[in-house]
Amino acid sequence: MTLSVTDGTLAYEDTGSGPLIVCIPGMGDLRSQFRFLTPLLVASGYRVVALDLRGHGESSTHWKDYSIASIGADLLALLQRLDAGPAVIIANSMAAGSAVLAAVEGPQWVRGLVLLDPAVRGEPNRAWQLLLGVLFARPWGPAAWGRYYTSLYPGRKPADLENHLAAIRLNLQQPGRMEALQQLMIAPQTFAAANLGKAHVPALVIMGSRDPDFKQPEKEAGWVAQALDAQYQMVPGAGHYPHVEMPEITSPYILSFLSGLDRR
């Protein structure tokens, strides 16, 4: 399924029926990141819509804007298109900042947030931007991203990781995909951090204890949770994708949170 918005088209898939959940992956990934979590949520009576980021997966390329705020606007556009009442947004990595902004800008459309290893602060400096331009340039960019992506699974790896990684590499080889990823890499996240306290919806933060993206994963999870007035849960041994690495541990946390929302 697709949704046309300003400057491009967003791709998504819609599964199940019941209260709405929208899932959005972080940069350099596909909506199939939620391949293990989706059936568990659907089996528990939820409707799950998984979205490809702009420039990624089956969404179009060559967008004018790849900011965190623009992706937040994409989430709101999708929720308005679905018109199924307020939803819970489950967001991974940098997309967590976009989910927060969607809750701030459109509180009538968002009833809860689940942030998986949220990356919501940091501003790339000029030297880092130049380095990224070299490291992830074509033709070696997709392979370089694949090596970095694999490093985000420091412990248990899903059995289908190589197949999923091959799909990511193949996608990044398409015109405009690698460039979209580069733009997201240099997108400032400070705007998202500044808005954490303005998101007045229930939230849950889940963090892998071995996430290599953070020097102190639990300290980062606690900081985000405190800013949101939320709770956080650690997944021991997991990296940047606890819902992929250990869905049997991650999903009960999410389902418990959802059950609490449904009782409100």
Residue 205: strand pairing partners: 115, 232
Q: Is the peptide bond before 139 cis (omega within 30 degrees of 0)?
A: yes
pLDDT of residue 132: 62
**Mean pLDDT per 10-residue section of the chain, whose length is 264 residues:** 96 98 98 99 98 99 96 98 97 98 98 98 59 68 91 96 98 95 85 91 99 96 97 98 98 98 81
Side-chain half-sphere exposure of 168, counting CA atoms within 13 A: 27
Q: Which residue has the tokens 């009782």?
A: 263
Q: Note the pTM of the prediction, 2 decimals.
A: 0.96
Q: How far apart are CA 171 and CA 117, in angstroms?
A: 24
pLDDT of residue 134: 64
- Structural domains of the chain sorted by starting position, each given as residue range(s) with its CATH number in brackets: 2-262 (3.40.50.1820)
Q: How far apart are CA 72 and CA 109, in angstroms?
A: 12
